[in-house]
Amino acid sequence: MTHSVFVALACVLSLAPPAPARAATPPPSGPVLEAWKNVTSFHEDLARIDRARDLLENEVARAPSLDALLVLSWAHLIWADYRAPDIDAKLASYERGRDTAKRAIDMAPKSPEAHLWYAANLGRWAITKGKLHAAFLLSTLRQEIQTVLELDPDNVPGLAVAGSFYLETPSLFGGDVPRAEGYLRKALALDPHFTRARIELARCLIVQGRYEEARPELKTVIDERQPCYVADWAVKHRPMAERLMAEIRAK
């Protein structure tokens, strides 16, 4: 595997995970709703991730549902990112998130979110493990993204991940910056408050040397008052926008 492919894969999967459109609507009631509230507000208290994971593990053992599996896969990924005390714990949590997403796919093969979480957990596990097989992983990610957008062409998280993929993948392996920009602009046309897509659009513009166009996109993220996912915006997207803005200030 080439170093450039490793870096590309790491970048594709390094932003806050793609919160699924299904999870954007709170589950109707019960433990899954309580866990969802914890997962979507972890920026206020990281221990909420632990509570969400434990609630959902119990719920899935008692009465597995698609909502419970999706939010549990999400909880395992962010627990690995923010709570795991060591590499082994990270790997175990990503594996659990991947396997949970696979259960969701088996339960609902046409769920776009299940495919998104499978790819996200698998990719994070492979990067952390340091044993990426580039051809396999690139093929898997491309196929999962294609599946998401075939199932739901207007899936905003899927469009954002597609943008990331085609932005970061070297052109030799199918990368395409104009194609990435197209996916990201479509995502933002559908949901202008999806800050991950706006960050990635700014990065697309920066790569092309279009700094004057990138600055207002970054400022919009920094000044956002209604982000779709407040935790992701507070922990990842706003700090990244501020850093990128500083980097291009003199350009």
Structure confidence by residue, pLDDT tens digits, 189-217: 999 999 999 999 999 999 999 999 999 99
Residue 73 has pLDDT above 70, yes or no: yes
Which range is most confident: 127-131, 220-224, 246-250? 220-224
d(CA 48, CA 174): 39
d(CA 179, CA 98): 28
d(CA 246, CA 251): 10
pLDDT for residue 188:
97
Whether the CB-CB separation of 30 and 69 falls below 8 Å is answered with no
- pTM here? 0.84
Closest C-alpha to 120, from 204, 4, 233, 232 = 232
Residue 46 has pLDDT above 50, yes or no: yes
pLDDT for residue 76:
95
Residues sharing a CB contact under 8 Å with residue 39, sequence separation 6 or more, in sequence order? 23, 48, 49, 52, 71, 74, 75, 78, 231
Question: Which one has a higher pLDDT value, 210 or 131?
Answer: 210
Whether the CB-CB separation of 233 and 224 falls below 8 Å is answered with yes
167-189 mean pLDDT: 91
Structure confidence by residue, pLDDT tens digits, 83-96: 999 999 999 999 99
d(CA 84, CA 17): 16
Question: Which one has a higher pLDDT value, 42 or 168?
Answer: 42
Angle between the 238-248 and 211-223 helix axes, to the nearest 10 degrees? 150
The percentage of residues in the chain with a pLDDT greater than 70, rounded to a whole number, is 86
